[in-house]
Structure 1
Amino acid sequence: MSKKILVSLALLMAVMLIINRKEAMSQEHDNKTVSVKQEQTKEVSNNKGASNQSIDTTSDNEQTTSTDKKFLEQVDLSRYDLILVNDSHAFSDEQLPAVTGIIDSNYQVHADLVTPYQKMKEAAAADGISLRVVSTYRSVSYQEQVYEQSISDNINAGMSQQEAEEETAVYVAEPGKSEHHTGLAIDLVDQLWLDAGKGLVPEFIETAAGKWIDEHCAEFGFIIRFPKGKEEITNINYEPWHIRYVGVENAKYITGNQLTLEEFVELVEKIQKEKN
């Protein structure tokens, strides 16, 4: 074979090698392009799924809001068990219904809460909690005695007249402004707390009974009337022992949405005004 032929063959092989390499590089580039496009398509698909999921969540929230609104539109604020008594809404003895009931042998209450209270007491007993009533209905005249006695006790404890009145105002409602006038309120602790000689103090929530009442009272139509963190609204310090009957559905809504009775009444009035 001549030298010229050998050189020609070598050149031909080199050219073929270059062509093959270019084709390989081109194929690799195409594969990468396809891969990138697939990832982009997958990402777009996932984003669409996330977008759809977000829409579904919004739809659920709208449905919940609609359900709440429908419930609030049907609340009857004229019902006696939703009567609001506080610094701005005084109560007179003439407003008390003639029909009353008795719980725990000798405590007078509004008739509507007798059965719910008994059921709650039985449920607590099943969980090892022995509920005991401390106070229920108090007339306006009796509240005057309670209020004056509290001031007197504070003075005897070393407070000035002004200090005694201010301290009493924190924990004792003025006559005519106490929920106990309605027969719908109960001061409730348990037998262990009473046996220990302890009074109505916030530390009651640290007991098994205090926690049980807080977690379960709404199931029977009661709310913690003066919840923690809402003092600026109720103008009464946190009282984990003071429960108020408002009916099961109302109690569950109020408790579930962490409202006070004041906030609930205001919300109902707003929703019903918008409807009309």
Structure 2
Amino acid sequence: MVQISNSTVPSSLSSDTSNNSGDAQSVLQTDSKSDWQLVLVNLNNKKSEMNPKLVNIGNIQMDARIQKNVEDFFTAAKAVDPKVHLISGYRSVEYQSHLFSSYVQQTMTENPSWTEAQATSEVMTYSQPSESSEHETGLAMDMSTVDSLNQEDPNVASQIAAIAPRYGFILRFPTWGQKSTGIEYEDWHFRYVGEANAKYITDNHLTLEEFLDKLSK
């Protein structure tokens, strides 16, 4: 069950986008349209079932091409706090559809006066309908010391987010990124984009959407 909290988030993840300087294309030469590491899946960029080649890593499945990156990142995160564990990885379109529907129904149960449209709007601040969730890529995973969203010790969350780029991952939904991502802060959701891309995105306080926008110009 996803539990949303307004708990304090680490200041290092709360910075604004004033440092969004530099030309991404001059630093990273890549064709974002064909680079599998940078595939964009969100409400405005829907994808049907992507069928990535999967590998089991602990209790989750991920794209087999990033097995070592996931394993090394997970090991490094556990060195920060031994309670870190993998929560969710690849999800099929069908599974995401059922999951999203369950969140909507749960929200309506918790708010009896809400319409389905209101509940759906609320759920979409932290989850996406099928064909709109990047969990379907096999490149995204949820990892935390606890099983509730945004309940991890902010200091631990900050340290894990800081080391993520070493392994090609970014904290996908930072506190300051909702305008471009449409998703509120998530302390546990990490997305693989490749090491060079991850470093540039993190150093320049960008979301994946903002980074891809720079590459397209």
Same fold per TM (> 0.5)?
Answer: yes
Mean CA deviation greater in 234-243 or 154-163:
154-163
For the residues of structure 1 that align with 2:214 and 2:109, how far apart are their CA atoms?
A: 43
The one-letter code sitting in structure 2 at the alignment partner of 1:80 is W
The residue matched to 1:150 in structure 2 has which SS? helix
Counterpart in the other structure of 1:178: 133
Of structures 1 and 2, the larger Rg is shown by: 1
Determine whether 1:241 maps to 2:194: no
The residue matched to 2:187 in structure 1 has which SS? strand
The residue matched to 1:259 in structure 2 has which SS? coil
For the residues of structure 2 that align with 1:243 and 1:65, how far apart are their CA atoms?
A: 24
For the residues of structure 1 that align with 2:78 and 2:177, how far apart are their CA atoms?
A: 30
Q: Taking structure 1 as reference, are residues 69 and 153 closer, same or farther at Cα in structure 2, changes over 3 Å only?
A: closer
CA drift at 1:227: 1.2
Determine whether 1:103 maps to 2:50: no
CA drift at 1:156: 1.4
For the residues of structure 1 that align with 2:185 and 2:57, how far apart are their CA atoms?
A: 25
Please, which runs of 5 or more residues in structure 1 have no aligned partner? Answer: 1-63, 271-276
Q: Taking structure 1 as reference, are residues 127 and 150 closer, same or farther at Cα in structure 2, changes over 3 Å only?
A: closer
Determine whether 1:166 maps to 2:139: no
How is 1:222-233 mapped onto 2 (pairs within 5 angstroms)?
Answer: 222-233=169-180
Determine whether 1:86 maps to 2:33: no
Q: Is the 8 A contact 2:80 2:160 kept in 1?
A: no
The residue matched to 1:187 in structure 2 has which SS? strand
Determine whether 1:76 maps to 2:31: yes
Please, which runs of 5 or more residues in structure 2 have no aligned partner? Answer: 1-20
Identity fraction in percent: 35
The one-letter code sitting in structure 2 at the alignment partner of 1:137 is Y
For the residues of structure 1 that align with 2:209 and 2:22, how far apart are their CA atoms?
A: 20
Q: Which runs of 4+ in 1 moved over 4 A?
A: none
Post-superposition CA distance 1:158-205 (Å, at most 9, x none): 342233222112111011100011010001102xx24xxxx11x3436
Q: Is the 8 A contact 1:124 1:130 kept in 2?
A: no
Post-superposition CA distance 1:59-87 (Å, at most 9, x none): xxxxx968x54323x12321211101111
Q: Is the 8 A contact 1:170 1:237 kept in 2?
A: yes
Aligned length: 194
Counterpart in the other structure of 1:25: none
The residue matched to 1:171 in structure 2 has which SS? coil
Q: Taking structure 1 as reference, are residues 157 and 267 closer, same or farther at Cα in structure 2, changes over 3 Å only?
A: same
The one-letter code sitting in structure 2 at the alignment partner of 1:110 is D
The one-letter code sitting in structure 2 at the alignment partner of 1:226 is F
TM-score (norm 2): 0.82
The residue matched to 1:212 in structure 2 has which SS? helix
The one-letter code sitting in structure 2 at the alignment partner of 1:84 is L
CA drift at 1:124: 2.7
Over aligned residue pairs, what C-alpha RMSD do you find? 1.9
